[in-house]
Amino acid sequence: MNHLQKIFFSSILLGGAILGIAFLSGRRQEQSSEPLYKQSLNQLKELSQKKYHQSLQLLAYAHYAERDSLHDVAALFHAMSHADAIHCANCRHAIEALGGMYSHPTISPTQFVSTTTHLEKTLHNKTLTHDHQMPKYINQALSDNNRYIARMLTWCDASDIKQITLLNDILNSHPSQHQYLYKVCPTCGDISWETITTRHCPMCMTDSVKFIIIRH
Which range touches Zn ion (CB under 5 A), out of 16-24, 58-66, 168-176, 189-197? 189-197
Burial environment of residue 67 by CB neighbours within 10 A (0 to 12, 13 to 18, 19 or more): exposed
60 forms part of the interface with Zn ion (CB under 5 A): no
Q: How many residues touch Zn ion (CB under 5 A)?
A: 8
* Nearest of 46, 42, 60 to residue 108 by alpha carbon: 60
Strand residue runs (E) in the chain: 181-184, 191-193, 212-215
CB-CB contact of 159 with 130 (8 Å)? no
Q: What share of the chain is helix, strand, coil (3-state, %, to 5)?
A: 70, 5, 25
Q: Which stretch binds Zn ion (CB under 5 A): 13-21, 24-32, 55-63, 184-192?
A: 184-192
Using the rule CB under 5 A, is 203 a contact of Zn ion? yes
What is the DSSP secondary-structure string of 87-116?
A: HHHHHHHHHHHTT----PPP-PPPPP--HH
Q: Is 160 in the site for Zn ion (CB under 5 A)?
A: no
Contact between 190 and Zn ion by CB under 5 A: the answer reads yes
Query: Do residues 43 and 136 make contact, with C-beta atoms less than 8 angstroms apart?
Result: yes
Name the residue nearer to Zn ion (CB basis): 76 or 185.
185
**187 touches Zn ion (CB under 5 A):** yes
Output 150 or 201, the one with its CB closest to Zn ion: 201
Q: Rounded to the nearest whole angstrom, what is the least distance from the CB of residue 155 to Zn ion in the complex?
A: 7
Give the interface segment with Zn ion, choosing from 58-66, 106-114, 132-140, 198-206 (CB under 5 A). 198-206
Residue 123 or 204 with smaller CB distance to Zn ion: 204
Beta carbons within 10 angstroms of residue 68's beta carbon: 11
Nearer CB in complex with Zn ion: 76/188:
188
Among 60, 178, 206, 212, binds Zn ion (CB under 5 A): 206
Told to check if 201 binds Zn ion by CB under 5 A, we report yes
Which residues contribute to the site for Zn ion (CB under 5 A)? 185, 187-188, 190, 201, 203-204, 206
